[in-house]
Chains A and B, each alone.
Chain A
């Protein structure tokens, strides 16, 4: 057989920054502000973001927590104790826009799967230096 092929898998080009938030868990408390959030602001939030799965589950005797679960398997939790409804909405927006990755500084402006266009530097190509 003169030519064989190597099997690979086509890689997703979606960078980590574009990962959706599939699920978001909100735990209701006895707080009035949070029950107002659950009644009035959460339906609007869910309607605006249909791609996010929202589930509400009781957490008796403990502080209310918003959790975002991301496709990369990570989870982010924010305690919303003593927060107003608008503040909780802001926290939910924060979880929504986050990628799920750990917060770290990007030092390189461009990430790419492609190998460098210029390739490895070669002394024989390009401009020849004359001493």
Chain B
């Protein structure tokens, strides 16, 4: 894989122009007036959040203490209480942009960040400041120059790429649905969330400049089952809460959550797990206009004429939507991978992926859920030109007892394709057919034959392996 040059990403990577001009402000000051251009759903959500956490809200005057007092030493000259709140940094030319997360200067002194850097054995090329920026979720600071979203987009693609090439080269016959599920098991949100916990990265209660830079900064979503104060109703029962299934769907047609989508359309339109691409498009994303012409798109109805860019990006965490710890953890781990690629190169990213993702245990044979294994097996034998499969009883015990065991084998001619035991003759036959299919799908070439594309491409001369053509299967059995 060709390495992206650092200066192409420079605007997002480099710290703000003049760090001396940074102004820290308290991100928890809710008493200021709201922005004029705020969307309706966000207003309602904000209302719910405020009523929910009313007692826990703090004003600017009340001090919050960081969890480790030693790591955070505030600079007196950096704090300027006279700065107007909610100043739009990219549009207003008067004041410096406000900070919603710990500054990179406190990040360099944070014991948590340094310990995390050492614990993950990251290369010294990756600076502590970048690692601290990886810990800032877009919900804590929506500006892409300050949060981890540019790194996370790159890291998601990198982790997905390395996982896919590992799976497809090692198991070339894996069916598409199992491949999607295996991708999810390796680099899905749930796994990355547990990786974050195993790394020892803790999550803030509420984001802000004053907390330790080594904590994962996010605005927590209010649990749907919690009771809104004074109403006696649950958060998810309140009016105005968006339905869970209403996701954007990346501009594809029929993006409702319950719309039936085939595997082929998942390959083309959806993400690497076969899920709908959800959430807001990232800043500067090219939104498709063809879908809006057809009239089938969910969004881009109100935004007439401005479909190429997003109309108004949120500039402060008051405008962002809260997120879950699992999603924020996933974006953090992905951002570390992306930042590692930008700072230390492709080889370091591959090592990172091998150490932290591929080292995890996944039993692929437990992920198959056959509905008609005997039918699939006979179709397979017909396709491959084998003799039609025949189930034969190998042995049995206790046929008239309460717990009979039948060992059934599925044979194609003289070849035993699969063998399994069952409590009835039919169960043994079905299990044997499923075992035969599993062993077909989980075929893996010998180790010497497997050469990953990333072993060859982009490596220095003499370091990369010699490319060997990899097995490409005809495809799974379609019945």
Contacts and interface: CB of A to CB of B under 8 A. Distances in A.
A79 interface: no
> Among A5, A52, A122, which residue has the most Cβ atoms of chain B within 10 A?
A5
B407 A122 contact: yes
19 contacts: A2-B372, A2-B478, A4-B177, A4-B371, A5-B367, A7-B185, A7-B188, A8-B181, A9-B188, A11-B361, A12-B194, A13-B359, A23-B200, A50-B117, A51-B118, A53-B68, A55-B111, A56-B70, A122-B407
Interface residues of B, number: 53
Contact of B191 (A4, A10, A56): A10
B369 interface: yes
Question: Which residue of B115, B186, B372, B421 has the most chain A CB atoms within 10 A of its CB atom?
Answer: B115
Nearest to B362: A10
Contacts of B151: none
A13 B361 contact: yes
B212 to A, nearest CB: 10
B399 to A, nearest CB: 14
CB-CB nearest 3 A-B residue pairs: A50-B118, A5-B181, A22-B200
Interface string A72-101: 000000000000000000000000000000
Contacts, number: 114
Nearest to A57: B69
Contacts of B357: 10
B104 interface: no
Contact of A124 (B111, B115, B178, B394): B394
A71 interface: yes
B53 interface: no
A6 B367 contact: yes
A14 B355 CA distance: 11
A60 to B, nearest CB: 15
Interface of A: 1-14, 20, 22-23, 50-57, 71, 113, 122-124
Interface string B345-365: 000000000000101111100
B477 interface: yes
Given A10-B360, A13-B359, A54 B111 contact: yes
B186 A10 contact: yes
Contacts of A23: 115, 200
B401 interface: no
A6 B214 CA distance: 35
B304 interface: no
A57 B188 contact: no
A6 B368 CA distance: 6
**Which of B117, B367, B478 has the largest count of A CB atoms less than 10 A from its CB?**
B367
Nearest to B119: A51
Contacts of B175: 3, 5
A53 B407 CA distance: 57
A51 B361 contact: no
B75 to A, nearest CB: 20
Contacts of B180: 5
A55 B68 CA distance: 7
Interface in B120-167: none
Contact of A9 (B114, B191, B394): B191
Interface in B382-414: 394-395, 397, 407
A8 B186 CA distance: 9
B71 interface: yes
B287 to A, nearest CB: 30
A116 B71 CA distance: 48
B112 interface: yes
A7 B394 contact: no
Given A13-B361, A53-B112, A6 B181 contact: yes
Nearest to A52: B115
Contacts of B197: 71
Contact of A3 (B112, B177, B214, B361): B177
Contacts of A5: 175, 177-178, 180-182, 367-369
B341 interface: no
B360 A13 contact: yes
B359 A4 contact: no
Contact of A10 (B71, B185, B369): B185
A122 B407 CA distance: 10
B332 interface: no
Contacts of B195: 12
A58 to B, nearest CB: 10
Contact of B368 (A3, A56, A123): A3
A57 to B, nearest CB: 7
B467 interface: no
Contact of B190 (A9, A51, A56): A9
Contact of A51 (B115, B182, B371, B477): B115
A71 to B, nearest CB: 5
Contact of B421 (A10, A13, A20, A122): A122
A9 B375 CA distance: 30
B56 interface: no
A4 B195 CA distance: 26
Contacts of A53: 68, 111-112, 114-115, 214
B306 interface: no
A128 to B, nearest CB: 11
Nearest to B476: A3
B184 interface: yes
Nearest to B182: A5
